[in-house]
Amino acid sequence: MRATTRVNVTNKLFITTFLVAFSSVALGSVLPCPAHTLDSDTPLVTEHDERAKKIAAEKSSKR
């Protein structure tokens, strides 16, 4: 393999690796993680709200 061909292959490999790494990091910023959506937290919030309402109702009925 000639020196110029080797340099070209090395440069293309380096550029491709850089673009893939940069794209994978940027893609994580563009697409949200499905585990961090508001829908995944809804059941916990609902349970907490129901529990708080129940406690408030018990306190008001004791008075």
DSSP letters, 13-61, are HHHHHHHHHHHHHHHHHHSPPGGGSHHHHHHHHHHHHHHHHHHHHHHHH
Please give the distance of CA 59 from its chain centroid, rounded to a whole number. Answer: 40
pTM: 0.47
pLDDT confidence of residue 8: 96
pLDDT confidence of residue 58: 84
Average pLDDT taken over every residue of the chain: 81
Q: What is the pLDDT of residues 14-47, one digit of tens each?
A: 999 999 999 999 988 888 777 666 655 555 556 6
Q: How far apart are the first and last CA of the chain?
A: 91
